[in-house]
Structure 1
Amino acid sequence: MRAVVYSENGPSSVMRLTERPVPKPGPGEVLVRLVRAGVNPTDWKVRAGLSATLSTPEVTPGQDGAGVVEEIGDGVSSHAVGQRVWLFMAQHGQAWGTAAEYVTVPAEKAVELPAGASFDLGASLGVPAMTAHRALTSGAVDRVAPGSFSGLTVLVHGGAGAVGNAAIQLAVWAGARVITTVSSPEKAALATAAGAHHIVNYREGAAATEIREIAPEGVDQIVEVAPAVNNDVDREVIVNRGTIAIYANNGGDELTLPLRATFSLNLRYQFIQLYGVEEAHLRAAADDVTAAVAAGALRVGQEGGVPLHHYPLEETAAAHDAVEAGAVGKVLIDLE
């Protein structure tokens, strides 16, 4: 099989396309023939050595993907050969990921892709959708389902980003009123396509004032991508006993809190990195995301506010560079 590998941390040029034997699934595993692979910021950061250093002689990058089950390992009764699946955290805990024609993963990381859902959508779920799910369920609501967010207002910062877009779509499906912040009219159009009810361009006015005008009573949950720059706004607009779920460090690496102004609001700060989330929360995320896909509530492409950027496997380095440069939408690797 063709696979992209690297043997040292560094720039995208350390990756090379090579031939490797098709792996065999071990006990509890399935072998998946990949059709699409998704590229996330975590992929280039791990490759560059920013969030992990090389611990095996060779690594194939890629956490997300979608394809077809080709073979089943001993002890697996939950899957069938020919089943369409989407993958999450494929490379976490092992040296091989989804930038290859085949990959073996623990069966629980291969989730059935609902009928009618494209492989493009399946490969776009994983890190963005599951992170968004955890951000939404880190407060008063522990599952995302129709009606579970009825009567609640959710603020999503960076609604044109991959996680922000998924958070908008999931929260709208669950019945929330969704406000999102963006930095340009073009990104406002993407957030609108995702289903956000109210758009605030933080570069054109006072974001906190605009959000309070939309939600005078305050917002119940905040999905936060840039806490270092947004925390003052967040405190101004959140309800007492609300939750601020932080999944990234855009805009700065340090967050300073005024203690009295913060604890007087009884706030909960939930910091999220998908690779440390409890198994029960991962399972709930996979189940709820799949239900949203089956309901048509999660979409990609322009109509879903997620422009798609396709690269062949031999151009995986360019795909990594595009994500590192801040490509808006979803970068995918085509395996067939």
Structure 2
Amino acid sequence: MLDAKSGVTIADDDMNQAKCPVHAPDDHPKIRGEKIGVLLANLGTPDNYDYWSMRRYLNEFLSDRRVIDYSPWIWQPLLQLIILTKRPFSSGAAYKSIWNEEAGESPLMTITKAQTVKVKARMAQQYGNDVMVDFCMRYGNPSTKSKVRAMIDAGCRKILFFPLYPHYAGATSATANDQFFRSLMDEKWQPTTRTVPAYYEHPLYIEALAESVERSYADMDEKPDILVCSYHGVPQRYLMEGDPYHCQCQKTTRLLKERLGWEDTQITTTFQSRFGPEEWLKPYTVEEVARLAETGKKRIAVIAPAFSADCIETLEEINEEIKESFEEAGGEHFTYIPCLNDDDAHIKALCSVIDDNLKGWID
């Protein structure tokens, strides 16, 4: 049976396991056989790129206090009266430029579905019907709440919640976990739960990144002068307040460099997607690629290790805006190395992380 919202196949026997408990009266509610749920979570996507779809999505995203932590008394009037009257048009145009028209969805949705199908197949091969795999989005659809409810209805008495962010940040991993916990508040019978920690230094994740770089470089006649590891930015203030994101990003770059056997001059760390007036983590990717071009680095490659799937920030921002900045400054050859997406090495890494976090729950 196909779940219409997620595109993930649910085995027919999973839909017919509800039974009345032994020794219970006939009118006792039926209960499904126990299983474990693995719920993958990504950032989210608008349902379409029209004005109102974009406005609903951006309103939910930019109203999250984990994302924008300014006082609502200041921020909400600015958001509702100014930002959300203009930004849906520009963001909608950006989404339209990368939209999967055939499937009627954003690339992030297409890729997350593909990742889920592959993870589900590996989990079924290893654990049979004891583990149920699905996905949700922090913003937009399918919602975290709807997927938590579906897992509980399917008999999941334990749920492993897996935010698909290699690096922990309050504005990504934490807000995804927040939404998961809020969803549990509405449940009469809450399942036992675990959340998956950041996997920025997991050997198989580093290996998958390295293999993607090696494949890309092998196809080039002339190698890039430098590899730019562009991570999504956060305000510099967050680092000062204890968020570990910056340090984890730096470690991923170092581990990738060591795995590739490179010198420090062959790789660098930058941060993209700055929003608002305050200072964010530096160097800013859009400025750094221009500086590299001006100082003689005419061939560069850019990879985005913090994104588990290609999305608006990679397909549009990196491959269009950041590329344009590099070329306008005199750069000649710009290569974007895609995210790991549903590459088999990436799926192997994700499943290894899942296996580690299922220990004690299932053999």
Q: Give the TM-score band, short-chain normalised.
A: 0.3 to 0.5
By percentage of residues, which structure has more helix? 2
Per the normalisation by structure 2, the TM-score is 0.33
Per the normalisation by structure 1, the TM-score is 0.35
